[in-house]
Structure 1
Amino acid sequence: MFTDIDECKYPETYTCNGKCHNTIGDYECKCSLGMHGDGKVGCQGFAIITIIAVIGAIVSLVIICLLLFMILSKRRKDKNFRENGGAVLKHQRVRIFSEAELTKATDNYDDDKKIGEGGFGSVYKGVLADNTVVAVKKSKGVDKAQMNEDFQHEICVVSQVNHKNVVKLLGLCLETKVPLLVYEFISNGTLFKHIHDKRSQVLASWSNRLRIASEAALALDYLHSLADPPVIHGDVKSVNILLDDNYTAKVADFGASVLISPGQTNILATKIQGTFGYLDPEYLMTGNLTEKSDVYSFGVVLVELLTGEKPNSNAKSGKKRNFIQYFNSALENNDLFGILDFQAADEAEMDEIEAVAELAKRCLNSIGVNRPSMKEVSEELAKLKALNQKSWAQQNSDETEHLLGESSQSFRNNASPPTSQSQTVISFEIENYTDSI
């Protein structure tokens, strides 16, 4: 008779370097957890300790890499901050944003947030942590040699510009290679869009066109006459005139602006900046940028407002002549009202339109000294706007009086002579009403 032996009870005879399990006629020996091999022969360690050590080393390496990245990133940001004039700008009345703040606000500069693009770079709509809506201007790049004291000084001045018709600089980020500028967000887009998108009704009336022109002129007059030091905008065009929630004009984009030192009348530019079609021909020929260069560009905007034409395209006449020639030719041939982009409401508006056209012609004089100053332009437009408003108010008053007169006459014609019966009825109604009280 076969008798099974429990080999697990005799480890001296039946070797097991792991967990022993008796079977009929034999036994099994499995290596302990963390070991591998044949338990009857010998088990080798799975190097759990080694694995733990390797994992620990990897985690440590990752942590070290992250720390190095953070240190290097901070050093880079600190270096950019210093080179971008942070030591000076942090004491100005302007908010300094972190790179992380603006990246989050613009969803990492998502293309869907892009609201403008040009040679300078791109503008993105962003929402800050406090729900303030902003416009973030991100430049494509710039020669670091240009990031000098002049740039720092310019930012200092622009940050202090405070005028209702100038887009306000809210702050900047100095942690990037090229500083990011943060402006107030202007909701209704550019004047250019409203002039050339025929679906827009903002400029359907002359009064709106005149008001917007007057507001933009007021901003440029402020930059030339009241800012300290004075500022030449350098790139006046309808794209750089924005309209806010109430369609109030605000001058924007000081990327080409320069500061005028006391006693200076012009700046000799090392390179021509601006937009074709709006550029002062005198500036193009000599390289001298003056306040009158802004006046010329503003004159182009006035013609654009009057005609609805784009300055860098042939006129709608179809003839090969440029924008300014087209306008001047219409004035010479007494055909101003044939090139307008809208209809004048009455003779008073026609007089105002003619006055603005003559003002635009003076602004477009090829010789800078013969052009009016922005102060003169602003004052003339302000007077015309006041006349327009007075005329509009008088017209409304006349219409009201006319309607009231017609109503009164109609009442007299329809009224019948009072009778004793009607008097009795009225008396009865009053008595009954008195009794009810």
Structure 2
Amino acid sequence: MLDILNIQNRHFFSKKIRFTYFEVQEMTNNFKRVLGEGGFGVVYHGCVNDTQQVAVKLLSPSSSQGYKHFKAEVELLMRVHHINLVSLVGYCDEGDHLALIYEYMPNGDLKQHLSRKHGGFVLSWKSRLGVAVDAALGLEYLHTGCKPPMVHRDIKSTNILLNESFQGKLADFGLSRSFPLANETQVSTVVAGTPGYLDPEYYQTNWLTEKSDVYSFGIVLLELITNRPIIQQSREKPHIVEWVGFVVRTGDIGNIIDPNLHEDYDVGSVWKVIELAMSCVNISSAIRPTMSQVVNDLKECVASENSRTGETREMNSMSSIEFSMDMDTEVIPKAR
């Protein structure tokens, strides 16, 4: 059934572990434990050789986009390997049964931790910065380390998974696209992505670039800072980008930061991330930073957090107010 692969890719794919559908049933204990569900189908917990835990993504027969997403993930994960991308352990291709088998990420996704659905503890600011750097490195690899470059197209907090050490890894490459020619920087395509995270410029023009991922990543940074819904109609400004910009301009900046952090953070690093996030979501893709620039800025924030000084809160507050006055209002897109 794997006619989606050419001969060269088939040779590469044969090096992966191929499982029968019966083996998939066995490794998941007859699909006993559900980890999650998406457009592709249901993801189950499994165990290979009684030792290696895995996540088994099983194609749903009712999924209209399932096979297309399966094809996209296979083609990408066969040729890309990075410590901050969830790796492919194996696959099942037997009649109508399609499954992708990934390394198991025991700490779930970033969204679960921000909402505290995965446990009772709060993800610290230092941990949030670490996850942000991890995800940014994975995205930077897709944009600059892959030939031709790849655009993920569905960056969001539920697609950033956490391993046992809370290392972040990008997942769900079903919507990913590569540029047909290495020297191309954009491609015209039907708009795809998740509402709230979707780049307004891409939505309006159908022209996809790596800066569309940068926009979505900026939304994730705002989630990490605020722990607020992306879109909340009852808010003064429904979309999180509008809301953060509005609050910063009014000077009531303390309300932006997740209160669950209980002020346990380096204020300078928080405001640098806010500034970085707002540059990522600029309505003009040309003005947004590259992921390499994002990585460098985030690493500086980590360094600040790791070496907190005795600087007074008043001094930090003054720097944040100065930042609010310098904020470029043009970065705020209209709510969608």
TM-score range, shorter chain: 0.7 to 0.9
2:156 pairs, out of 231, 234, 237, with 237
The answer to whether the aligner puts 1:322 opposite 2:259 as a matched pair is no
1:264 match: 184
Deviation at 1:115, TM superposition (A): 0.7
Structure 1: unaligned runs, 5 residues or longer: 1-79, 396-437
Deviation at 1:305, TM superposition (A): 0.6
In proportion to residue count, which structure has more helix?
Answer: 1
Structure of greater relative contact order (alpha carbons < 8 Å, 6+ residues apart): 2
RMSD between aligned residues = 2.7
The answer to whether the aligner puts 1:91 opposite 2:11 as a matched pair is yes
Where in structure 2 are the equivalents of 1:12-411 lying within 5 Å? 80-81=1-2, 83-85=3-5, 88-92=8-12, 93-110=15-32, 113-141=33-61, 151=71, 155-177=74-96, 179-197=98-116, 200-203=120-123, 205-260=124-179, 261-270=181-190, 272-314=191-233, 318-319=235-236, 321-341=238-258, 342-345=261-264, 349-391=266-308
Query: Structure 1 pair 211/377, CA: closer, same or farther in 2 (3 Å)?
Result: same
- Output the amino acid matched with 2:27: A
Q: Is the 8 A contact 2:68 2:174 kept in 1?
A: no
* Equivalent residues, number: 304
Q: Is the 8 A contact 2:237 2:246 kept in 1?
A: no
Q: Residue 391 of structure 1 aligns to a residue in which SS?
A: coil
| Distance in 2 separating the partners of 1:330 and 1:200 | 29
Query: Structure 1 pair 178/310, CA: closer, same or farther in 2 (3 Å)?
Result: farther
Structure 2: unaligned runs, 5 residues or longer: 312-336
Q: Is the 8 A contact 1:99 1:176 kept in 2?
A: no
Q: Is the 8 A contact 1:102 1:128 kept in 2?
A: no
Q: Is the 8 A contact 1:233 1:256 kept in 2?
A: yes
Deviation at 1:207, TM superposition (A): 1.3
| Distance in 1 separating the partners of 2:162 and 2:48 | 22
Deviation at 1:136, TM superposition (A): 1.0
**TM-score, with length taken from structure 1:** 0.64
More displaced 10-residue stretch of structure 1: 118-127 or 242-251: 118-127
Q: Residue 379 of structure 1 aligns to a residue in which SS?
A: helix
| Distance in 1 separating the partners of 2:91 and 2:6 | 10
Q: Is the 8 A contact 1:206 1:344 kept in 2?
A: no
Q: Deviations over 1:114-160 (max 9, x none)?
A: 11112221111111234321111112246699769x947x6244223
Deviation at 1:327, TM superposition (A): 0.8
Query: Structure 1 pair 145/275, CA: closer, same or farther in 2 (3 Å)?
Result: closer
**TM-score, with length taken from structure 2:** 0.82
